[in-house]
Every structure is written in C-alpha cells, then in structure tokens.
Amino acid sequence: MNVEILGLIAGALTAIASMPQLIKVIKTKNVEDISWLMLVILISGLSLWVWYGFEQNELPIILSNSFAVLVNLTLLICYFIFRDKK
C-alpha cells in the first residue's frame, strides 16, 4: 500500500475517534471531567507533531495533528466558556 494513503487512513481513524468527546461537551455543556492542564500538554505535543510533520515533509502527519490541535483547542475554549456555567 502507498504509505501516504496508509497515513491518511490512520489519521482519519484517530480523527473520528476524537469527535465524540467534543460533541458530548458541546451538547451537555459539562466540562467537569476535563483537565485544562492535560489539554494544554496535549495541544503542545500535537503542535510539536505538526512541526515534526513539516520538518519531515509528511502530509499525513501534518493534516492529522493539525486537525487534532483544532479539536482540542475547541475543547479548551469550551472548558473556559462552560466552566462557570454550573
């Protein structure tokens, strides 16, 4: 199999798996199970993966980690919006 297609399928699967938490948080507006510190660590790590992808010139790495950064940044924003609305 073409290795770039392999990476894109891998990225699509890990992206799909990240959506339910985001949908749940937006629907329920409940963020008490979320740790903002862990989100910040995760977003830092994912951003370094994007950087790594650019250094290695690998599209699947860049696309999947950029998507994950977006999802987790949205979760972080939701956290600060919904945190005080209890």
Name the residues that contact its own copies, by CB under 8 A.
3, 6-7, 9-17, 20, 33, 35, 38-39, 41-42, 44-46, 48-49, 51-52, 55-56, 58, 60-61
Nearer to its own copies, 13 or 81 (CB): 13
Nearer to its own copies, 11 or 78 (CB): 11
The answer to whether 8 and 60 are in contact (CB under 8 A) is: yes
* Closest distance of CB 43 from its own copies, Å: 9
Please state whether 58 falls in left (phi above 0), alpha (psi between -120 and 50) or beta. Answer: beta
Closest CA relative to residue 7, chosen from 44, 69, 62, 68: 62
Nearer to its own copies, 3 or 84 (CB): 3
* Closest distance of CB 59 from its own copies, Å: 12
Chain centroid to CA 54: 18
